[in-house]
Amino acid sequence: MFDLNSVPFTDQDRNDNHCVSPEVQHMKGSEGEHGIKRKLHSLVQDSDTTNEQDDDGKRDPKRTFDPRDTPTLVQERSTSFQSNDICDECRRLSLHVLIKEVQDADIYFAQKRYAAPWERVEDGTCLRAGVGFRYRRQQSTCPLCRALVASRITPEKTPGADGVEIQDDGDEIQVKLYNTRIFMSKGAECHAVRLILVPHGSSSVHWKVLHNHTSDHGSLALFDNSTKPKLFRPQLISPKFDPDLVGSWLTYCTRYHRRLCRSELVPVRGVQVIDCTTLQIEKYNTSTPYVSLSYVWGKSNDACGPVETVGGRKTLPQLLPTVIKDSIEVTKALGFQYLWIDKFCIDQDAADLKHDQIQQMDAIYANSQVTIIGAAGQDESYGLPGVGDRHRSHQFVAKLNGATAIWSPSDPHRAISKSHWSTRGWTFQEALLSRRRLVFTEEQMYFQCNTMNCFESNYCALDELHVKDRSKTLESVRTGTFGQHRHQTHGKLIRDKESMNQTFGRYLSNVENYTSRNLRFDEDSLNAFQGIIKQFSQERHAFNHVCGLAYLSNCIKCKPGCSKKLNFFAHALSWMHREGTKARRRNLFPSWTWAGWEGHVRYEFDGGTDADFRNQLHNLRFRTSAGESLALHDVSENRNHAILEVTGTAISLAPDAYRGPKPDARRGPGKVGPWRILKHGARLSWSNSDQTDAELAEMFKDSLRWQFLFIGGTVLRSFVMVLESCENGRTWRRAGMFEAHAHHNSIHRQEGTRISTFEIV
């Protein structure tokens, strides 16, 4: 068994910084790691390529692993082309001499002459060479030609310096510094350059265009072989799953990330796991480490037979989806015996047991040593690229007179966000609740624990990413893709230093990301988010919820009558559907919560330490179907059908409230929208149907059917809920939200307002 908590670290390990570049070195160390290496060969090769024995045939347990033991592994990484495989025209580009030229600061200032065909772009940010139309000829057999063709940025994305479309005079190659700021905001130097093919006459490609293109499609990188690898330099990717590499990531995490990643096991009830050696489903023993799996289910169970009972024991069926078979192999290769898979470890036909397991989803994933994520393909039939028969995408590499040209694949953050796995609702919390995640994309593996994130295609010297004691990464390092939001893109992972508002903002960000995904069944709207809700109820600044809307539950410093709880809940009420979202009602939940709708929502929050949203509702209670009236803190979590009783400021819209689209109708402080709430410009987020703003303006003139309730706001924005009268004439349902550019104190003091009470279902 590969015990993550007991693998020793040698001095050599520390000197090597655990840069487990498969091309450069493998981690040295314990006998357990030898076991991983042996399992690698049984997994990815038809026969062993390594002889880990002494001359007498006995294995030496003290022997350290030497990367020379597996020369074929490096050779198999990708198709490697030497200089003599490159065509004459590509050789004449003399690419190998450009690296130092582009790194030279003089390129930005001096009018230096460069060897033909290279010249300095006018703004001094890169070199370029005109190449005509030759790289549009797909029939070229030169591998470098094919790589340059793949790097081409299309004309519509590369306007000329004057902003107009440029004439098609062929293409040019631009050579720019490889931008490591994608991964680290400061401090990382990478002695590599990026080659891109753009229309001839283009100005230097804007960094945003270049970033988006290379993040989505990858790019061709060039580096000098004589220099020591720098942090985030592109490197070769193994064509096969490499458990040594994953083992080094896991070991580093368990060794040093004790504060953020080695949480105590959470007690669980009735959890079952799969024994990967017998394929039997067994009761979970809390002392036994296990791996979990997150994947996309198929449209039916046709790809999987029923659970069988052999000798009184439940056993996996012989017919298994590819992703499950591959995950079993990965689990064993990493030295673990047990695997948790929802399809088999939760009885899908026992409603009570299933509900109980859903309520424990946070603990199930948090207790897992690592969660395998199948982010490639459309569903469970695709498998994990590099493990079984599913091959990884081809990676180009060529040696060029002391330099290496290599294809650096798409940014794994972008690849994961664009995967089908990322569109499914259940997978969101599966990743977020895990303390370690191992993601398989089409091209490579990506690892993220609660402290660091790293991946195969770039040289990741782990010590260089961390503070001195290795307990956390530097604040300049990009945060992982799971849990990242627009106010936290780098570092700052110690949550016990968060303010209440920052914790609340993290919750709102999770709601935003979760609602961008799809669910097969409407009743899962809160089920698939339940683990995250429970996690926030246990944090230092704990938040409870009513139907998914959060409010502060343990305000330690609050005095009687403190308004913070209502401020947070009013803020949670102010959700809006994003522009262009096709919203649809989920009638199992109230209309006033995002859980009652299908569709991507957004919140306005600044991510600061201090909460600035102020509740403007005069009274807020919940009425049950039995007629019981409850305060916010008295509502139990299972009352999904509670009626929201609110008393507040109702606003009358003027007949000319809609002014039509205006050039200045943009979002942001000081920008006015096409609507007018009292005297303030506003924008409407509409959830109910497909009407245009002009049609809605006519509808809103019916004051018996439509009412507008002021919720609250900040110093810059105020929020007004649009209510539609229900058929019974007594209750109301939420239909949309106005976002007015006004201070929260400036709304209820104006003419055209009155105090009213509404029952919102």
* pLDDT at position 674 over 90: yes
What confidence tens digit (pLDDT) does each residue in 16-68 have? 434 443 333 333 334 444 444 444 333 333 333 333 333 333 333 333 323 22
Provide the pLDDT confidence category of residue 156 given band limits of 50, 70 and 90: low
What would the mean pLDDT of 542-558 be, rounded to a whole number? 86
- Tell me what pLDDT residue 112 has: 66
Could you tell me which of 554, 608, 598, 601 has the C-alpha nearest to residue 574? Answer: 601
* DSSP letter, residue 518: B
Cβ pair 563, 615 in contact under 8 A: yes
pLDDT at 554 over 50: yes
Residue in the structure block whose two tokens are 């919560």: 593
Model pLDDT, residue 661 = 77
Q: For residue 530, is pLDDT > 90?
A: yes
Distance CA 502, CA 499 (A): 5
* pLDDT given for residue 751 in this prediction: 74
Q: What percentage of the chain has pLDDT greater than the value 90? A: 48
Distance CA 374, CA 298 (A): 13
pLDDT band at residue 377 using 50, 70 and 90 as cut-offs: very high
Strand 396-400 vs strand 79-81: parallel, antiparallel, or unpaired? Answer: parallel
- Of these ranges, 182-196, 345-359, 641-655, 701-715, the one predicted with the greatest mean pLDDT is 701-715
Which residues sit opposite 314 in a β-bridge?
Answer: 309
* pLDDT of 666: 46
Q: Would you give the DSSP letter of residue 233?
A: -
Determine which of 168-182, 187-201, 478-492, 622-636 has the lowest per-residue pLDDT on average. 478-492
169 near 182, Cβ under 8 Å? no
Among 167-176, 483-492, 538-547, 638-647, which stretch is predicted with the lowest mean pLDDT?
A: 483-492
- pLDDT computed for residue 177 by the predictor: 81
The pLDDT assigned to 179 comes to: 67
Give this prediction's pTM.
0.84
pLDDT tens column, 328-366: 999 999 999 999 999 999 988 888 888 899 889 999 999
- Spatial separation of the C-alpha atoms in residues 496 and 723, rounded to whole Å: 39
Distances, alpha carbon 147 to alpha carbons 75, 84, 95, 138, 427, in Å: 19, 16, 14, 11, 34
Contact (CB, 8 A) for 126 and 182: no
Q: Six-digit token pair at 744?
A: 């929260």
pLDDT of the residue at 542: 93
Mean pLDDT of the chain: 81
If one compares 645 and 224, the residue with the highest pLDDT of the two is: 645
Q: What pLDDT score does 230 carry? A: 79
Q: What is the pLDDT of residue 2?
A: 37
Tens digit of pLDDT for each residue in 246-271? Answer: 999 999 999 999 988 987 888 899 99
3-state secondary structure of 64: coil
For residues 202-236, one letter each, b for 16 or more C-beta atoms within 10 angstroms of the residue's C-beta and e for the rest, the string is bbbbeeeebbebbbeebbbbbbeeeeebbbbbbbb
The gap between the terminal CA atoms of the chain, to the nearest Å, is 55
Cα gap 267→287, rounded to integer Å: 11
Helices and strands counted in the chain (H then E): 21, 34
pLDDT at 139: 63
Asked whether residue 573 carries a pLDDT value surpassing 70, the answer given is: yes
